[in-house]
Amino acid sequence: MKQQQRIAERLAATGYIADGELATAIALMQLLSRPLLLEGEAGVGKTEVAKALAAVHDTELIRLQCYEGLDQSAALYEWNYQRQLLAIEAHRGVGGASVEDAIFSEKYLLERPLLAAIRHEQPVVLLIDEIDRADDEFEAFLLELLSDFQVSIPELGTVKARTIPHVVLTSNATRELSDALRRRCLYHYLDYPDVDREARIILARVPGASAALALQIARMVDGVRREDLRKVPGVAETLDWAAALVGLDVRDLRDAPETVHETLMCLLKTREDKAAFRPEVTARLLGKVA
């Protein structure tokens, strides 16, 4: 059996249904020990890939959520200033150099996600989520970690990885990432799942959903995504809607058009989209789910 098939099966056992291209990307990521950059629209399941990988490897998931203004102190390390001040007070009158050496030691170091990931005794999954939200400066800072799996701490020197983490970066493509970052990563564009795969996702993640209902929901969601919407529903919204329909004991969408229309709030997340989705639009899409 090919390695990609084994990976797809192991991911499926955690509830993540991957297509062949994603399974290949993960296989190469593991073979080459390279970071994997997943790009795609919000809601297609990029973050879930990292969670599923952590489950597959039975290891810890360490997540760094990126945002504008993110700096090294929040991502890599910072010093425990309160304890350092207490130590300075306790050593008042002692030679300055010895105090400085003492307070800038491991004892006073606070690990943040990046440092924790490379200093872990066992390989972890490091998720650098929504890297496109961070600044260019932070992206440049990441390059040493992604290429050599080491970081530089002025007071301690170069810290090399004890183990190589499985690194997953995600991007919603809100800004263009640098060529330097892309060169250090394998790349995969993650799109919305096709109807068959989304039906399999529903079956794997929503208890009580029948195969027939899952296929109807997937076809309906596919139709909703083709409408002119401000915010296209992602897989998470699909699962919420499927869980709502199962909870309301809907077994066939065509038998419950009013319930289908009323519960579309699980998929439609803006005032404009809800206003545009009139009952006749729902009826038109229901006519295609058979």
The pLDDT tens digits for 46-100 are 999 999 999 999 999 999 999 999 988 889 888 767 776 776 666 676 555 566 6
What's the rounded Cα separation, in Å, for the pair 51 and 14? 9
Map out the domains of the chain as residue ranges: 3-76+112-189, 195-284
Q: Which residues pair with 113 in a beta bridge?
A: none
**Phi-psi region for residue 135, left (φ > 0), alpha (ψ -120 to 50) or beta?**
beta
Q: Whole-model pTM above 0.75?
A: yes
Task: Determine which helix (DSSP H) or strand (DSSP E) holds 127, and give its type and residue range.
Answer: strand 125-129
What number of other Cβ atoms are within 10 A of residue 182's Cβ?
15
Question: Could you give the CA distance from residue 38 to residue 172 in angstroms, rounded to a whole number?
Answer: 9
pLDDT digits (tens, 9 = 90+) for 164-221: 999 999 999 999 999 999 999 999 999 999 999 999 999 999 999 999 999 999 999 9
Q: Residue 28, Cβ neighbours under 10 Å: how many?
A: 15
Instruction: Provide the token pair at 255.
Output: 């038998």
Tokens representing 252 are 């066939």
**Chain segment 215-244, per-residue pLDDT in tens:** 999 999 999 999 999 999 999 999 999 999
- pLDDT, residue 104, reads 67
Amino acid identity at 254: R
Half-sphere exposure (Cβ direction) of 14: Cα atoms closer than 13 Å: 18
Output the pLDDT for position 97: 55
DSSP, residue by residue, 168-229: EEEE--SSPPPHHHHHTSEEEEPPPP-HHHHHHHHHHHSTT--HHHHHHHHHHHHHHHTS--
Strand pairing partners for 79? 109
Q: Which superfamily does CATH assign the domain made up of 3-76+112-189 to?
A: P-loop containing nucleotide triphosphate hydrolases (3.40.50.300)
Choice between 87 and 18, residue whose per-residue pLDDT is larger: 18
pLDDT for 226: 95
Provide the token pair at 234. Answer: 């992602």
- The Cα–Cα gap between 121 and 88 comes to 32
